[in-house]
Amino acid sequence: MEESIWIEDVTVSYGTDDPVIERASFALQPGSKVGVIGPNGAGKSTLMKAIVGLIPLDQGTVKVLGGSINQKRKYVAYVPQKENIDWDFPVSVYDVVMMGRYVHLGWIKRPGEQDHQIVSEALEEVGMLEYQERQVGKLSGGQRQRVFLARALAQRAEIMLLDEPFAGVDQTTEEVIYGLLDQLSKEGKTVVVVHHDLKKVKKYFDNLILVNKEIIAYGPTQSTFTPSYLTQTFSQKSTVVQNDLVVMT
Amino acid sequence: MELLWELLVAPLEYQFMQRAFLAAIVVGVGCGVLGSLLILRKLALMGDAISHAVLPGVAIAYLLGINFFIGATITGVTTALGIGFITEHSKIKEDSAIGIMFSAAFAIGILIISKITTNIDLFHILFGNVLGVSRTDLILISILGFLVIVLTILFFKELKLSSFDPIMARSIGLPTDMIHYLLMLMLSFIVVASLQTVGIILVVAMLITPGATAYLLTDDLSEMMVLSGVFGLVSALVGLYLSFHLNVASGAAIVVVATSFFIIALLFSPQEGLLVSKEQ
C-alpha cells in the first residue's frame, strides 16, 4: 500500500544554527491514527507545519499521497493551534466551517449548493448545527475546537493533521473528537494528532511518532510506547504502569 | 418643510457642489468598505501611513508634470512595500516600521514642496479641497473607488479567510503575502481618491471610524462592510451639507459626523453599547 505521508531526512532550523527538527524520516499508512508525542519544544508543531508546507525545509523531502504538498493541498486538512485567532472577528460558526470548502472552490468562485450541504453535515457530525449562526467567539473552548474540526471535515480531505485538538476541551468535546477521528481512520483516512498528554495514548492511537528534535521512534503503539523510548523522548526516566499510565521520575 | 428642502437642494445648484457630493459619496463608500478589512487585520495605522506617504508622490508628479494620482499611488505602494520589507528582514516590528516609513515619506514630500515653487497648496493636500474637484478628478476618483469595491467583492472569500485565519489560508495554498499587497494597493487607490475630499491628515478617520462603528453593530463581515460603507456615505453627505451651510472645512465636518455615529454606537449598540444593559 502506498504511504499517505512520507518524509525523509527533513531538517528545519528557521534559519538558526539550532535545528528544531533534525533529519526526521518516517512513513505513515492510510487508515492509521497517529499520535505525535514529545516534550514541549520538541518540534511537534514544526513537524506538522513541515508536512503542510508552511515552513521552508533546510533539507529533506516531504511527500503526501505520492506527490508534493502543493499538488495535494485539497486532500490535506490542517487544524492548527488557535493562539493567533481573533475571537472577536465577525464570522459565524457556519462561515468558519465553509472556509473548509475554499480550497475546492478556488479563486473568486462562490460556494454552491453542494458546499452548503457538506457544511451542514460537518456541523451535524460535531454536534454544532444548532450553533451555526453564533459568532465564533461566543462559544466555549471545546465548542470552538469542534467548529475547527468541522471545518477540517468539510474539506473532505484524505489526511487530517491536528495540533493539540484535545488541549483545554471539555469531556464531551474530547469524546466527539475522538469518535470522529476513529471513524475517519476506519474510512481509510490518515489522522495525525499532536498530543502532549500521555494518558489515553494507547486508547487513542494505533501508531506513534516519538519526537524530540529527532525522531526517537515511530511505528505501532505497542512497540513504541515503551519505557525505554519514552525515557529517550522525554529525557526522563519513565515507567509504563499497566496499560496507559506513565510514571516519570 | 420647505426650509429643509431648501437646505438640501441649495448646494446642488452649483456644479462644483454636485461634483463634491459625487466625490464624497465614492470616497465615503470606498473608505468604509476597505476600512472594515483594515480594522480586522489591525492595520489601522497602515491607513495613516499610506495616506502620509502619498505626499511625496504628489510633489514628484508635479515636478514631472504627470497626473498626481499616478505619483501618489506609486509612493503609497512603495511605502507599503518598504514597511513589509523592514518587518520581514529585521527585528523591527510592524508598528515601528510604519512610524519610520511614513514620517520619512512625509518629510520627503514636505522637503520637495518647500524647495520647488509650485502651485501645490499644502493646506489643500493636507486637509482636502473638495470644492476644487474637476471633471477629470471626478472621473479618476470614480474609477479608483469602483476598482476598490469590485476587487473587494471579487476577492471577498480570500480576504475573509486570510484575515481571520492566515495559517489556514496558507495551508490551503493562498498567497497571503500577495493578498496583503493587493490590499495595500487598494488602500493606496482609495487614499489617493480621498485626497481632495478629506485630505491626507483626516483620511485615516474615514477609513477607520465608519468601520469601527459598523463593527460595534454586527457580527457578520459582509454586513459590517455594507454598514461601514453606509456610515461613510452618510457621514460624507451630512458633512458636506454642514460644510456648505456653516461655511466650515469639509473634511473636518465629514470626520466629525462620522465620529458622532461612532460615539452613538459605542454608547447604544444593542450588543456592545456601554449604556445598554446586558442581560445574557
pLDDT digits (tens, 9 = 90+) for A181-220: 999 999 999 999 999 788 888 889 999 999 999 999 999 9
Beta strand segments in B94-243, E = none
Cβ pair B164:A76 closer than 8 A: no
The answer to whether A147 and A96 have CB atoms below 8 angstroms apart is yes
Which of A228-232, B105-109, B141-145, B216-220 bottoms out in mean pLDDT, i.e. has the lowest? A228-232
Cβ pair B173:A73 closer than 8 A: yes
Cβ pair A52:B171 closer than 8 A: yes
Residue B158 at interface with chain A, using a CB cutoff of 8 Å: yes
* Predicted pLDDT at A16: 85
Cβ pair B170:A96 closer than 8 A: no
* Predicted pLDDT at A239: 63
Q: Which of B154, B216, B219, B269 should we substitute to test contact with A (largest number of A Cβ atoms within 10 Å)?
A: B219
Mean pLDDT of chain B: 90
Q: How far apart are CA B225 and CA B40, in angstroms?
A: 11
Q: Residue B195 pLDDT more than 90?
A: no
State what percent of residues in chain B have pLDDT above 70. 97
Helix axes B176-194, B44-64, angle to 10 degrees: 60
Q: Residue B17 pLDDT more than 60?
A: yes
CA distances for B148 relative to A97, B32, B34, B237, angstroms: 27, 11, 8, 20
Cα B93 from chain centre: 24
End-to-end CA distance of chain B: 44
Q: Residue A241 pLDDT more than 50?
A: yes
A21-28/A5-12 β-pairing: antiparallel
Q: Residue A247 pLDDT more than 80?
A: no
pLDDT 10s digits, A39-85: 888 899 999 999 999 999 999 999 999 999 999 999 999 999 888 89
pLDDT 10s digits, B200-227: 888 999 999 999 999 999 999 999 999 9
The cell for A12 is: 528545519
Residue A57 at interface with chain B, using a CB cutoff of 8 Å: no
SS3 call for B245: helix
Predicted confidence band of residue A109 (pLDDT cuts 50, 70, 90): confident
The answer to whether A34 and B151 have CB atoms below 8 angstroms apart is no
Cβ pair A90:B218 closer than 8 A: yes
Predicted confidence band of residue B280 (pLDDT cuts 50, 70, 90): very low
Highest mean predicted confidence (pLDDT) among B47-56, B108-117, B267-276? B47-56
Residue B224 at interface with chain A, using a CB cutoff of 8 Å: yes
| Beta bridge partner(s), residue A11 | A59
Which amino acid is residue A134, in one-letter code? R
The answer to whether A82 and A148 have CB atoms below 8 angstroms apart is yes
Which amino acid is residue A100, in one-letter code? G
Q: How far apart are CA B165 and CA B195, in angstroms?
A: 33
Predicted confidence band of residue B128 (pLDDT cuts 50, 70, 90): confident
Predicted confidence band of residue B120 (pLDDT cuts 50, 70, 90): low
Name the residue facing A102 among B154, B161, B218 (closest C-beta).
B161
> What average pLDDT does this structure show over A81-90?
90
| A52 contact residues in B (CB cutoff 8 A) | 171
Sequence-ordered list of residues with C-beta below 8 angstroms from that of B255, at least 6 positions apart, any chain: B198, B202, B205, B206, B209, B235, B239
* Predicted pLDDT at A44: 93
Q: How far apart are CA B55 and CA B195, in angstroms?
A: 10
Ordered by where they begin, the domains of chain A are: 5-248 (3.40.50.300)
Buried b (16+ CB within 10 A) or exposed e, B156-168: bbbbbbbbbbbbb
> What average pLDDT does this structure show over B3-28?
89
Residue (of A143, A163, A191) closest to B167 by Cα position = A163
Backbone angles phi, psi at A41, to 5 degrees: 75, 10
Mean pLDDT of chain A: 90
How many residues are present in chain B?
A: 280
* H/E run at residue B52: helix B44-64
The answer to whether A197 and A35 have CB atoms below 8 angstroms apart is no
The cell for B164 is: 481571520
Which amino acid is residue A230, in one-letter code? L
The answer to whether B233 and B57 have CB atoms below 8 angstroms apart is no
The answer to whether B48 and B194 have CB atoms below 8 angstroms apart is no
Q: Residue B38 pLDDT more than 90?
A: yes
> What average pLDDT does this structure show over B180-199?
90
Residue A135 at interface with chain B, using a CB cutoff of 8 Å: yes
The answer to whether A202 and A221 have CB atoms below 8 angstroms apart is yes
Residue A91 at interface with chain B, using a CB cutoff of 8 Å: yes
| Beta bridge partner(s), residue A6 | A27, A63
Q: Residue A122 pLDDT more than 90?
A: yes
SS3 call for A162: strand
SS3 call for B228: helix
The answer to whether B124 and B246 have CB atoms below 8 angstroms apart is no
> What average pLDDT does this structure show over A21-47?
93
> What average pLDDT does this structure show over B54-64?
89
SS3 call for A155: coil
Options 1.20.1530.20, 3.40.50.2000, 1.10.3470.10, 2.40.50.100; which CATH number does B2-267 get?
1.10.3470.10
* Predicted pLDDT at A235: 80
Sequence-ordered list of residues with C-beta below 8 angstroms from that of A106, at least 6 positions apart, any chain: none
**Taking the CB of residue B109, how many other CB atoms lie within 10 A of it?**
25
* Predicted pLDDT at A17: 85
Q: Residue B2 pLDDT more than 90?
A: no
* Predicted pLDDT at B272: 78
The answer to whether B43 and B212 have CB atoms below 8 angstroms apart is no
Q: Residue A24 pLDDT more than 90?
A: yes
Q: ipTM value of the model?
A: 0.90
